[in-house]
């Protein structure tokens, strides 16, 4: 039976023509059993701690499981019909348990350590060394090296951390759900677009009340703050939003939703966790696996950028306040006027029709343009190819060298479907490695949710969608143009978390190049390329309020880093005091003193971004700085720079630290100047 299970066929491409939900359980069950038997055998005393007998054998032995489960996860994402959802969910706990076992198997840790200490280690390739080092590092961060009597306490901290961060998010959700603003006087809705009114009407009907219901959820709150002419309504909503999950009684809150004590406890536990592992603070733990070296380095980076961006932010806010006063009669500008006045200012100064732009980005032109960018930059060819697929929408391509040698292959699934997960993402079907029969070539999935063609005309994309497509393709190229020969550090594997977005954001730059856009656009009716006047408006709108937005991101990033670096949760100073300090340093829009932003900062308290929020700006800086190398050469397709980018960054995967990749390409440390320039913030 299993011999004919197509999920177990690893000879080449996934068998999407044959794989059915009923294949999942038998295939995954068998692969898990094989995996456990392999781990037992490889961790036995009789197995020598060598690359070939242990680390290499483990990686090769578990690859099939990873690939099969990858196919199941992929089908669950792109074909989420009940049978696939059930098949996926049935095995998910089993798979999670297996990974947890691997992470806690100290015999694996011992073998890796023995390999590291053996004479063989010095003779391993850079890739293999890196894999061994990464494994040992991850076991250490998981507490594997702690004295036995400290392990229970460490485990308890981990559990309390995960419970508290879940509770943190739940409190925000409960507080968000508890609030409703019911409007019964239609006059109060002035300014709101129809879609926002309709949604509010529907929400009211659903709740069994008359009128219009507004909530603190983004699709309701956002448009209201942006468009509602009624200032008192905006002020009420703003206050309700700003005091969620806080100690402040705002009329709908409950004391048990207060995230204040949870934040304090989370910070204490993280500090204890860091101390047990031998670090000075949690920020050091977070950065240990990242590209940035030290908290001080990150803070220097953020502050340097803040110093450069702040004059532009001050100009933005002055312009906004002047506009609000002169054009909207708002003489005493308040924080709840910011989104509203910004929208009006944007319309007055930089308006253009997204719909008009969309008519120029016709699918065949965009795809051909994308492939041309790839071909020119990296001296490869992209060709249509054929393979079994999971839906008739899907297309399949191959990347070749100029001599016709296969480099990698990818699936492209562009259109939205009811059974497809939202958003856009890149995933891998197979990674590059050296195998017995030669090099195994990588395969990737590129998935988007664009509107399909209608009425016999090609599909048209918004400019944002084109940027999304280039972004995901950047992740795809990171995987496909790899040169790695070991799974653990090939392509996107083993790349530091704050460097992963470099290739994707790098590719976005090409969507703003006038010459590229000329070749990539053809009006759906007239066939004309994008007009220059429209392009100029797009550029102006791109940088609208970029100063203000930059300092806001920097405020959050500096606050997060200082909180996990130098803040004492047991000390006199409160979390709010610290945020006030940061705001005095970088912000241009200071919220009222009752604003409780930290209480809903779920990225760092409810998610995995603690001492990592800076990554957003960090990756933007890296990608802009890489792109600037092409600008300096005077050609976005400069072949010499392109080859160096491929050689030093894109093809390296996780083989070498990302900072070394960057320095090898740029010849220096990253600088924020290119990003500031691209955002219209050039020092006068
Ligand atoms: Zn991305």
Q: How far is the CA of 607 from the centre of ligand 1 (A)?
A: 17
Phi, psi of 183 (to 5 degrees): -105, 130
Cα distance between residue 244 and residue 258, in whole Å: 8
What average pLDDT is seen over the chain? 95
Mean pLDDT computed over 370-379: 97
**94 CA → ligand 1 middle, Å:** 29
Instruction: Kindly indicate the confidence band of residue 22, based on its pLDDT and cuts at 50, 70 and 90.
Output: very high
pLDDT for residue 1: 46
Span from the CA of 244 to the centroid of ligand 1 (angstroms)? 30
Interior/surface letters 271-309, b for 16+ CB within 10 angstroms, e for the rest: bbbbebbebebbbbbbbeebbbeebeebbebbeebbebb
Q: How far apart are CA 9 and CA 513, in angstroms?
A: 44
Q: What are the residue numbers of the active site?
A: 472
**CB-based contacts of 668-671 (< 8 A; 24+ apart in sequence):** 670/301, 670/621, 670/622, 670/625, 671/621, 671/625
pLDDT recorded at residue 422: 87
pLDDT at residue 684 is higher than 50:
no
pLDDT digits (tens, 9 = 90+) for 313-338: 999 999 999 999 999 999 999 999 99
Q: What values do phi and psi take at 364, rounded to 5?
A: -60, -40
User: What separation in Å is there between the alpha carbon of 228 and the centre of ligand 1?
Assistant: 33
Q: Residue 65: pLDDT above 90?
A: yes
Residues of the chain by 3-state class (helix, strand, coil), percent to 5: 60, 5, 30
Q: Is the pLDDT of residue 596 over 50?
A: yes
Give distance in angstroms: CA of 475 to centre of ligand 1: 7
How much is the pTM?
0.91
- Which residue matches tokens 């939205």? 416
What pLDDT, in 10s, does the model give residues 503-529? 999 999 999 999 999 999 999 999 999
Q: What's the rounded mean pLDDT across residues 594-606? A: 95
pLDDT in tens, 115-172: 999 999 999 999 999 999 999 999 999 999 999 999 999 999 999 999 999 999 999 9
pLDDT per residue as tens digits for the range 412-452: 999 999 899 888 999 999 999 999 899 999 999 999 999 99
d(CA 64, CA 580): 52
| Mean pLDDT of the 542-557 span | 96
* pLDDT 10s digits, 222-261: 999 999 999 999 999 999 999 999 999 888 889 999 999 9
Backbone angles phi, psi at 399, to 5 degrees: -105, 130
Percent of the chain with pLDDT over 90: 93
Residue 3 has what pLDDT? Answer: 61
CB 298 within 8 A of CB 612: no
CA–CA distance, 192 with 222 (Å, rounded to integer): 11
pLDDT band at 683, cuts 50/70/90?
A: low
Quote the ligand 1 centre to 546 CA distance (angstroms): 20
Residue 608 — very low, low, confident or very high, per pLDDT cuts 50/70/90? Answer: confident
Q: How far apart are CA 396 and CA 386, in angstroms?
A: 6
């Amino acid at each position: 039976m299993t011999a004919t299970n197509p999920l177990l066929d690893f000879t080449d491409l996934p068998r999407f023509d044959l794989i059915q939900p009923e294949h999942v359980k038998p295939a995954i069950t068998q692969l898990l059993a094989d995996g456990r038997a392999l781990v037992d055998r490889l961790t036995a005393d009789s197995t020598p701690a060598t690359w070939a007998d242990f680390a290499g054998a483990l990686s090769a032995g578990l690859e099939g499981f990873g690939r099969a489960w990858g196919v199941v996860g992929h089908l669950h994402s792109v074909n989420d019909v009940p049978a696939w959802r059930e098949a996926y969910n049935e095995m998910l706990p089993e798979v999670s348990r297996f990974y947890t076992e691997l992470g806690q198997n100290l015999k694996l840790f011992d073998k890796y350590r023995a390999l590291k200490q053996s004479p063989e280690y010095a003779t391993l390739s850079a890739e293999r060394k890196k894999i061994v080092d990464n494994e040992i590092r991850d076991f250490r961060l998981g507490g594997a090296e702690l004295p036995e009597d400290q392990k229970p306490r460490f485990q308890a901290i981990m559990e309390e951390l995960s419970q508290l961060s879940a509770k943190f998010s739940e409190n925000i959700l409960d507080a968000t759900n508890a609030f409703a603003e019911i409007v019964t006087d239609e006059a109060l809705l002035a300014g709101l677009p129809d879609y926002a009114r309709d949604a509010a009407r529907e929400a009211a009907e659903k709740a069994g009340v008359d009128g219009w219901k507004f909530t603190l959820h983004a699709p309701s709150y956002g448009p209201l703050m942006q468009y509602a002419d009624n200032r008192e309504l905006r002020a009420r909503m703003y206050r309700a939003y700003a005091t969620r999950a806080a100690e402040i009684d705002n009329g709908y809150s409950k004391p048990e939703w207060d995230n204040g004590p949870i934040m304090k406890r989370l910070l204490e536990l993280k500090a204890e966790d860091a101390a047990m592992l031998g670090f000075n603070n949690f920020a050091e733990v977070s950065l240990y696996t990242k590209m940035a070296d030290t908290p001080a380095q990150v803070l220097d980076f953020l502050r340097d950028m803040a110093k450069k961006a702040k004059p532009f932010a001050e100009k933005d806010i002055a312009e906004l306040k002047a506009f609000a006063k002169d054009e909207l009669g708002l003489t005493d500008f308040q924080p709840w006027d910011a989104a509203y006045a910004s929208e009006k200012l944007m319309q007055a100064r930089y308006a253009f029709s997204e719909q008009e732009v969309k008519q120029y980005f016709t699918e065949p032109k965009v795809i051909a343009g994308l492939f041309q960018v790839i071909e020119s930059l990296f001296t490869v060819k992209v060709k249509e190819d054929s393979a079994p697929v999971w839906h008739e929408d899907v297309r399949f391509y191959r990347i070749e060298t100029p001599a016709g040698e296969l480099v990698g292959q990818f699936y492209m699934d562009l259109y939205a479907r009811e059974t497809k997960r939202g958003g856009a993402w890149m995933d891998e079907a197979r990674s590059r490695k050296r195998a017995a029969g030669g090099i195994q070539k990588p395969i990737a999935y590129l998935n988007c949710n664009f509107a399909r063609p209608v009425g016999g005309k090609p599909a048209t994309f918004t400019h944002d969608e084109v940027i999304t497509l280039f972004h995901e393709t950047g992740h795809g190229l990171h995987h496909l143009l790899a040169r790695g020969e070991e799974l653990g550090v090939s392509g996107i594997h083993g790349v530091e978390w704050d460097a992963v977005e470099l290739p994707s954001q790098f590719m976005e730059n090409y969507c703003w190049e006038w010459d590229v856009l000329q070749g990539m656009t053809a009006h759906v009716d007239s066939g004309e390329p994008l007009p220059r006047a429209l392009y100029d408006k797009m550029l102006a709108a791109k940088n609208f309020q970029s100063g203000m937005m930059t300092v806001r991101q920097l405020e959050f990033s500096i606050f997060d880093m200082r909180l996990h670096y130098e803040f004492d949760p047991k000390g006199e100073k409160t979390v709010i005091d610290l945020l006030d300090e940061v705001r005095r340093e970088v912000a241009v829009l200071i919220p009222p003193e009752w604003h409780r932003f930290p209480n809903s900062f779920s990225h760092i308290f409810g998610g995995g971004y603690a001492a990592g929020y800076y990554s957003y700006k960090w990756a933007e800086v890296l990608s802009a700085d890489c792109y600037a190398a092409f600008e300096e050469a005077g050609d976005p397709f400069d072949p010499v720079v392109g080859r160096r980018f491929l050689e030093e960054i894109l093809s390296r995967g996780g083989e070498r630290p990302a900072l070394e990749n960057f320095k090898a390409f740029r010849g220096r440390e990253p600088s924020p100047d290119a990003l500031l320039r691209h955002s219209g913030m050039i020092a006068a």
